[in-house]
């Protein structure tokens, strides 16, 4: 009796083992990459799912490789597209060249459709500019000779008769993102130093980094009105005044303002229309 039960159980297990699994149909020689064409509907569905998975993995690997390559180019300091190789857009190139020659022109506003090379030309013009002398360990790109372009700390050093240590640096090109906050643009209290040392210190913003360089705003017609007012005030006066948590800082902010935008995405604010 026990032997017959054991034999029947073995036969049942054998039949169950020979049955194909519902999630993975028995394809025999028609697995992914096989020359044999799938016959049943289950086999075809399985092959299609395998092909889709392979395509998704390949796409992810390519995207990862491109991102890694772009990051390596940025770290290596790869130059932008050469300015002289840009074909056409003569009016835009002329406007950029005139502004870098004479900053008193007041900036440049370029409106055009996507794919017309606006940002490419702006990023390329910075390679045409010579290096500038700046004071070492200064966050405002202070000039060692022009008092109008010196921070308060550098002016105090000059008054005390100390010799300024300088270094050569590339003309800064600072891009203002659309999602930036007012503190990010103007500067704010250095929270890390306040917590660690218990002292109040100023953390410079994008306007300080753009001093003696170019401030580039892509999609300028989508920029928040409050940021537009801040940038235009600094561009008009050449200085930026920040008052945060008992700290009052005034630093030079002399830059060339360049804005680009797509007219199909929105109209310019009244402040920008008055400026340009």
* Strand, helix or coil for residue 240: strand
> What pLDDT does residue 12 have?
46
pTM for the whole structure: 0.67
CA distance 270 to 152: 34
Q: Which residues touch 34 (CB under 8 Å, ≥6 apart)?
A: 27
Report the phi/psi class of residue 99: left, alpha or beta, with left for phi > 0 and alpha for psi in -120 to 50.
alpha
Q: What is the pLDDT of residues 128-187, one digit of tens each?
A: 899 999 999 888 999 999 889 998 889 999 999 888 899 999 999 999 998 888 889 998
pLDDT exceeding 90 applies to what percent of the chain? Answer: 26
């Amino acid at each position: 009796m026990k032997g017959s039960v054991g034999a029947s159980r073995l036969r049942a297990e054998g039949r169950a083992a020979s049955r194909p699994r519902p999630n993975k149909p028995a394809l025999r020689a028609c697995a992914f990459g096989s020359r044999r064409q799938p016959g049943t509907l289950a086999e075809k569905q399985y092959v299609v799912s395998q092909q889709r998975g392979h395509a998704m993995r390949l796409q992810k690997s390519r995207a990862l490789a491109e991102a890694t390559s772009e990051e390596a180019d940025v770290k290596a300091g790869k130059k932008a597209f050469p300015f002289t190789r840009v074909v056409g857009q003569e009016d835009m190139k002329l406007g950029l060249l005139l502004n870098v020659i004479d900053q008193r022109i007041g900036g440049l506003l370029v409106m055009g459709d996507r794919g017309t090379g606006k940002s490419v030309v702006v990023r390329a013009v910075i390679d045409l500019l010579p290096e500038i002398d700046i004071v070492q360990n200064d966050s405002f790109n202070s000039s060692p000779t022009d008092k109008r372009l010196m921070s308060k700390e550098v002016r105090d050093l000059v008054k005390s008769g100390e010799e300024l240590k300088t270094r050569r640096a590339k003309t800064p090109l600072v891009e203002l993102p659309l999602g930036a906050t007012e503190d990010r643009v103007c500067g704010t209290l250095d929270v890390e130093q306040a917590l660690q040392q218990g002292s109040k210190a100023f953390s410079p913003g994008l306007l300080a980094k753009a001093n003696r360089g170019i401030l580039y705003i892509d999609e300028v017609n989508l920029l928040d009105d409050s940021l537009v007012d801040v940038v235009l005030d600094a561009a008009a006066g050449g200085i930026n005044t920040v008052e945060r948590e008992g700290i009052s800082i005034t630093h030079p902010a002399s830059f060339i303002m360049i804005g680009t935008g797509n007219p199909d995405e929105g109209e310019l604010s009244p402040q920008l229309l008055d400026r340009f």
